[in-house]
Structure 1
């Protein structure tokens, strides 16, 4: 058993992750700390992104149209396989990410 306080985790670099669990050998659960945007990407599997601390602007693109979704503490973003997106934290943020093991 383990108890984790997200606000106590600070990485040495943007998007550093604290591995929490691997489910059924295929799905990873990780706590990320970041203060920098990620990069545009498409996952090869499902991704669940939960903001635990801070504010994140999630940029998405569908059919050439870009949208920005403001995510606050407690908000959940779901990306299906093939959904193009990039997270832009507004200052430091901590997010819980559940995705296929080895995803970008």
Structure 2
């Protein structure tokens, strides 16, 4: 049994993570960041839930770049092949559920 207080979690570097669970190859990780990630495509599907802060999620669809503003409580689903990058506005805490070893 674990209780994680996400609002108090910090990491020593941007996108540092606390591993919460690994369920048959699917990982659940809590990330802290104050810097953008990098453009990437995951090896599978990804669920990206903002727990604290605001994140501009840039994604490419049909050759065009779009931005979704995600606030605390919002969830972004990146399907297979979805190219995306997260840009936090200040500090953010994000719960990510994805295939183990994904980018």
What TM-score results when the alignment is normalised by the length of structure 2? Answer: 0.98
Question: Take 1:89 and 1:23, find their aligned partners in 2: how far apart are those partners?
Answer: 27
Deviations 1:42-91 (A, max 9, x none): 01101000000000000000122000000000000000111000000000
Question: Take 2:44 and 2:76, find their aligned partners in 1: how far apart are those partners?
Answer: 14
What TM-score results when the alignment is normalised by the length of structure 1? Answer: 0.97
Runs of 4+ aligned structure 1 residues displaced above 2 Å come to none
Question: Take 2:32 and 2:7, find their aligned partners in 1: how far apart are those partners?
Answer: 9
**Aligned alpha-carbon RMSD (Å):** 0.5
Question: Take 1:7 and 1:91, find their aligned partners in 2: how far apart are those partners?
Answer: 14
- Unaligned stretches of 5+ residues in structure 1: none
Question: Take 1:63 and 1:81, find their aligned partners in 2: how far apart are those partners?
Answer: 14
Query: Which SS does the other structure have where 1:43 is aligned?
Result: coil
1:54 aligned residue: 53
Query: Which SS does the other structure have where 2:7 is aligned?
Result: helix
- Unaligned stretches of 5+ residues in structure 2: none
Question: Take 2:63 and 2:78, find their aligned partners in 1: how far apart are those partners?
Answer: 17
- 1:21 is the counterpart of 2:21: yes
Query: Which SS does the other structure have where 1:42 is aligned?
Result: coil
